[in-house]
Chain A
């Protein structure tokens, strides 16, 4: 028995899609979809980097540069963003899988890697939806309008708290739902254990990430 990897179906209909996502099943069609995902990720990151410079003022000097230099800057940002868009998902998915592995050992690293690829698709959708906000609001992608950080910014200046809350978006709930149904089928653990593990591990990872950003 095998599990056909379909990213969009998995994140939109997780209850049905992950019924075949079990420890004894094998994944079909993952590699090429993963490569396509990396390519899309690369483009999204590249466009985000360009929009950040062009509209959000992440490079304050940009508007004072000559036309030639502006083009050079955008090109550099596009290439750098594109490369980052390939490296970051590889690291993030692998780290996510490693993080979950001790808590869901029976699922195995490979399946957890696949699971986090679904998670990354949600993240990528969030990144795509944020693009028009970068251009319209002139704010860099670090300041997500889907996050709690914007409201927190009104009451605190603590960079750690802000970094943490800016990483908690409305898409996090979606990610948790996808992960829950996937692990419910794959791990056969109690619902409470699964929910607590997912929420706990995600928040712990985000806290560590916020700590690094605040340094």
Chain B
């Protein structure tokens, strides 16, 4: 009997010690555990992307045609494959007639300058004669009258000579102006490039092509590029000028280029230009490149990502904070008053991140992995408020 009590006492002591130790350990364990896992609403830029296909084209092209009024081309100053800048002399029209005329005018100017010098000398002579006319006190009245008439005569001749000289000078001026005018016209005979790029075609004696149109003397394509994209009729409405575009080509898969939509065509592209098998009508648009680095070549096919909607600094949460009830989405927002269930409108998803279009602001806190039973129990804040309003009215 005594042994039984000893066994019972030892067992009881052991059990109490065991429970006490466990209680102590559980108390320690629970202090280290976090109570409520929340998430601060962050900001992130979200883009709605429309994919498209495209092709690299020259940013600018220039066809220089012959002006037949200016005559035949005298000399070509460029050749195929040559790099040109704006202002580079391309070719020159023949200008023999202009050179002859300038020579004639220069000779005329020389002659007129000699004539002007002679007239200057004549004026000098008349002035000397005028100075020599002598009025003497002892001279008779008749002599004085003769001197006076001589004096009038010389003054008249000086005026006539000065008039002649002025006419000669005007003629010289006129001839010089004619030379300037001819030289100005001569400049028009030199044709320069308005595009920086590469000469792809040179034709000194251009004829007509198969359509009957005149062929260019020089064809220049710019060394900078643009992208010509193609988009279906269903996505055309989403496209706007200035929308950012990211693009890549399978030729250089490691690189991405950026740009922006610069123009959108209202007319559909022909099947020769963009053949699609889906039966949709396609339209073209042009993308200006931002970081052109000459790695792209004309004719490369590119894949385009057109950001048709950009929501900068949109509030974002992780998907584990989102509660989906039917077709509606909610979050459990932690406010100063406590936890409230709030309806939110979600946008796009980027891996675990969910764009919040409406219902949350950056910096607010939401509960992660909310308890399902609580989600079922709580009612959205707005609905509660609306119900209260209805009751009061």
Interface residues of A (CB under 8 A from B): 57, 59-66, 69, 72-73, 76-77, 80, 133, 136-139, 143, 145-147, 150-151, 153-154, 170
Q: A61-B371, A65-B378 are in contact. List 7 more A-B contacts (CB 8 A).
A: A57-B35, A61-B339, A65-B338, A65-B339, A77-B373, A146-B22, A150-B25
Contacts of B30 in A (CB 8 A): 57, 137-139
Cα A64 to Cα B18 with chains together (Å): 35
B26 at the interface (CB under 8 A from A): yes
Sampled A-B contacts (12; CB under 8 Å)? A59-B371, A59-B373, A62-B374, A65-B338, A65-B339, A69-B377, A73-B373, A139-B27, A146-B22, A150-B29, A153-B25, A154-B25
Docked CA distance A145–B27 (Å)? 10
Q: Is B15 an interface residue (CB 8 A)?
A: yes
A76 CB contact (under 8 Å) in B15, B18, B22, B373:
B373
The verdict on B2 contacting chain A, using a C-beta distance below 8 Å, is: no
In the complex, residue of chain B having the shortest beta-carbon distance to the beta carbon of A153? B29
Contact with A along B327-359 (1 / 0, CB 8 A): 000001010011100000000000000000000
- B113 to A: closest C-beta gap in Å: 106
Residue from A60, A136, A151, A170 with most neighbouring chain B CB atoms (10 Å):
A60
Q: A139-B30, A153-B29 are in contact. Are A64 and B36 (CB under 8 A)?
A: yes
Contacts A61-B36, A139-B26, A150-B26 given: A72-B332 contact, CB under 8 Å?
A: no
| Complex: chain B residue closest to A80, CB-CB | B373
Pairwise interchain contact A63-B377, C-beta atoms closer than 8 A? no
Residues of chain B within 8 A of A65, CB atoms compared: 338-339, 374, 378
Q: Mark B282-303, 1 if CB is under 8 A from A, else 0.
A: 0000000000000000000000
Asked whether B374 lies within 8 Å of A137 as measured between CB atoms, the reply is: no
CB distance from A14 to the nearest CB of B (A): 16
Whole-angstrom CA separation of A88 from B44 in the bound complex: 48
For B21, what are the chain A residues with a Cβ–Cβ distance below 8 Å? 150-151
Bound-state Cα–Cα, A57 to B338, Å: 16
- Asked if A143 contacts B26 (CB within 8 A), the reply is yes
Q: Determine if B22 and A60 form an interchain contact, defined as CB atoms under 8 angstroms apart.
A: no
Q: Which residues of A contact B36 (CB under 8 A)?
A: 60-61, 63-64
Closest residue of chain B to A62 (Cβ to Cβ) is B374
Give chain B interface residues in 19-40, CB to chain A under 8 Å. Answer: 19, 21-23, 25-27, 29-30, 33, 35-37
Q: How far is the CB of A173 from chain B (nearest CB, A)?
A: 10
Number of B interface residues at 8 Å Cβ cutoff, please give it. 27
Instruction: Name the A residues within 8 Å of B373 (CB-CB).
Output: 59, 73, 76-77, 80
* Cβ-defined partner of A151 (8 Å) among B15, B22, B370, B374: B22
Interface set of B (CB-CB < 8 Å, partner A): 15, 18-19, 21-23, 25-27, 29-30, 33, 35-37, 332, 334, 337-339, 367, 370-371, 373-374, 377-378
Chain B residues with CB below 8 A from A146, complex form: 18-19, 22
Please report the C-alpha to C-alpha distance between residue A213 and residue B26 in the assembled complex, in whole angstroms: 20
Given contacts A60-B371, A69-B378, A76-B377, contact A145 B23 (CB under 8 A): yes
Is A139 within 8 A of B29, CB to CB?
Answer: yes
Contact of A64 among B22, B25, B26, B338 (CB under 8 A): B338
The CA of A48 and the CA of B49, in the complex, are separated in Å by 52
In the complex, the chain A residue whose C-beta lies closest to that of B31 is: A138
CB of A137 within 8 A of CB of B27, answer yes
Instruction: Given A59-B373, A60-B37, decide whether A145 and B338 contact each other with a Cβ distance below 8 A.
Output: no
Which A residues touch B332, using CB under 8 A?
Answer: 61
Contacts A61-B371, A69-B377, A143-B26 given; indicate if A170 touches B18 (C-beta within 8 A).
yes
By secondary structure, the A interface counts as helix
Contact, CB under 8 Å: A145 / B29:
no
A73 to B338, CA, bound (A): 15
Contact B26 A73, beta carbon cutoff 8 Å = no
Closest to B375 in A: A61
| Closest chain B CB from A5 CB (angstroms) | 27
Output the least CB separation between A69 and chain B (Å): 6
Identify the 4 closest CB pairs spanning chains A and B, nearest first: A60-B36, A145-B22, A150-B22, A64-B339
A201 to B208, CA, bound (A): 102
Cβ-defined contact, B374 with A59, below 8 A? yes
Are the C-beta atoms of B19 and A145 separated by less than 8 Å?
Answer: yes
Nearest A-chain residue to B337, judged by Cβ:
A66
Complex Cα–Cα for A136 and B378 (A)? 28
CA of A16 to CA of B15, assembled, Å = 25
B334 proximity list for chain A (CB < 8 A): 64
Q: Least Cβ distance of B391 to chain A in Å?
A: 15
How far apart are A128's CB and chain B's nearest CB, in angstroms? 14
Nearest chain B CB to A141 CB, angstrom units:
12
Complex interface: chain A residues within 8 A of B18 (CB): 146, 170
* A147→B22 CA distance, assembly (Å): 8
Q: Determine the distance from Cα of A76 to Cα of B37 in the docked complex, in whole angstroms.
A: 23
Cross-chain contact of A66 among B37, B338, B367 (Cβ < 8 A) = B338
Contacts of A150 in B (CB 8 A): 21-22, 25-26, 29
**Which residue of chain B lies nearest to A70 when distances are taken between CB atoms in the complex?**
B338
The interface centre, meaning the residue of A57, A61, A80, A147 with most chain B CB atoms within 10 A of its CB, is: A61
Q: How far is the CA of A153 from the CA of B37 in the complex (A)?
A: 22
Other-chain residue from A57, A137, A170 in contact with B26 (beta carbon distance below 8 A): A137
Q: How far is the CB of B276 from chain A (nearest CB, A)?
A: 50
Q: Which residue of B lies closest to A149 (CB)?
A: B22
CA distance A6 to B338 in the complex (A): 50
